[in-house]
């Protein structure tokens, strides 16, 4: 076991990680974001056994590997650029997940086929046109979509809008929705929400030292202005958009 541990530690060293992934017993990648507690609260369908799944915006591959761990029969992970961290984690985990360099807008039924389950984790807020992105997902989703997103919360008696443009004012996000806004944009894209979670808190990974965060940032997390998310599961509520059907 020590030999396996040391080999895993050497393999992940020197790479820039985003997710905290346990790639060997006791060996966790030094990413600043730990999604493992969130994964336990996601509104998964009853069973993932044998499902064909799609992970959109995979980064280091956390959700792709989580889908496999939960029994998925086939997993395709996509992102706009491949990261060496995905290959490293997949190798250490013995993962069979495939990777494609592909933008969510370019999802095509004739290219990637249909999926029983699609996961989008913190992707919608990065899209200039979130509605078009969800409509592209609808083209390839024959089962359900699990969507995890940062949400804006009301402060005191002040309600939050359905969506805010560049809500953090730092250029990292286009839109941040509140909970009603997430439901609305899913409905507009042709989905019906069937399950939701309560508000989820972000969890720092081993790559983040709490003391390194500014007092202002820690205060915003403590009072709910930052670090809050919600997840929902949705299924198609209407036929695919015209032109998106597989040729017979």
144-171 pLDDT per residue, tens: 999 999 998 776 567 788 988 875 555 5
For 169-232, the three-class secondary structure string (H helix, E strand, C coil) is: CCCCCCEEECHHHHHHHHHHCCEEEEEECCCEECCECCCCCHHHCCHHHHHHHHCCCCCEEEEE
Does the pLDDT of residue 228 top 80, yes or no? yes
| Residue 133 falls inside a structural domain | yes
Query: What pLDDT does 247 receive?
Result: 41
**Per-residue pLDDT at 186:** 97
Mean pLDDT over the full length of the chain: 87
Please check whether residue 122 lies inside any domain of the structure.
yes
Domains held by the chain: number: 1
Q: Is residue 19 part of a domain?
A: no
Q: Give the integer Cα–Cα distance in Å for 188 and 64.
A: 27
Q: What is the pTM (predicted TM-score) of this model?
A: 0.88
Mean pLDDT of 204-222: 57
**What is d(CA 178, CA 150) in angstroms, rounded to the nearest whole number?**
8
The residue range of the domain holding 177 is: 31-236
Tell me whether residue 128 is in a domain: yes
Q: Which residues pair with 28 in a beta bridge?
A: 22
Range with lowest mean pLDDT among 32-41, 54-63, 135-144, 195-204: 195-204
Residue 18 lies in a domain: no
Model confidence at 174, pLDDT cuts 50, 70, 90, reads confident
What separation in angstroms does the CA of 106 have from each of 168, 236, 244? Answer: 27, 19, 12
Which pLDDT band holds residue 172 (cuts at 50, 70, 90)? low
Element (H, E) at 84: helix 84-93
The CATH number that applies at residue 229 is 3.40.50.150
- Residue 8's contacts (CB-CB under 8 Å, 6 or more residues apart) are 23, 24, 27, 92
Q: Is 101's pLDDT higher than 70?
A: yes
Query: Per the domain annotation, does 4 fall within a domain?
Result: no
Does any domain span residue 206? yes
Q: Residue 204: its pLDDT value, please? A: 84
Digit-coded pLDDT (tens) for 63-96: 999 999 999 999 999 999 999 999 999 999 999 9
**How many other β-carbons are positioned within 10 Å of the β-carbon of residue 225?**
15
**3-state class (DSSP) for residue 26:** coil
Please check whether residue 23 lies inside any domain of the structure: no
Q: What is the pLDDT of residue 164?
A: 86
Radius of gyration of the chain (CA): 18
């Amino acid at each position: 076991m020590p030999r396996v541990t040391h080999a895993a530690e050497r393999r992940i060293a020197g790479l820039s990680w985003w997710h905290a992934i346990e790639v060997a017993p006791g060996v966790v990648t030094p990413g600043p974001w730990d999604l493992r507690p969130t994964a336990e609260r996601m509104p998964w369908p009853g069973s993932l056994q044998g499902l064909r799944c799609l992970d959109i915006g995979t980064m280091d591959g956390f959700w792709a590997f989580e889908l496999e761990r939960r029994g998925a029969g086939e997993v395709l992970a996509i992102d706009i650029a491949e990261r060496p961290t995905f290959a490293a984690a997949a190798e250490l985990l013995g993962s069979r997940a495939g990777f494609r360099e592909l933008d969510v807008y370019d999802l095509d039924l004739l290219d990637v086929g249909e999926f029983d389950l699609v996961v989008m984790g913190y992707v919608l807020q990065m899209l200039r046109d979130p509605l078009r992105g969800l409509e592209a997902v609808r083209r390839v989703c024959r089962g359900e979509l699990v969507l995890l997103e940062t949400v804006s919360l009301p402060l005191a008696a002040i309600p939050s809008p359905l969506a805010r443009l560049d809500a953090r004012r730092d250029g990292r996000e286009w839109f941040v929705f509140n909970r009603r806004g997430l439901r609305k944009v899913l409905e507009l894209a042709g989905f019906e929400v069937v399950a939701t979670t309560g508000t989820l808190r972000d969890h720092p990974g081993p790559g983040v030292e709490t003391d390194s965060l500014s007092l202002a940032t820690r205060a915003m997390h403590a009072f709910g202005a930052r670090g809050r998310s919600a997840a929902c599961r949705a299924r198609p509520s209407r036929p695919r958009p015209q032109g998106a059907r597989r040729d017979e």
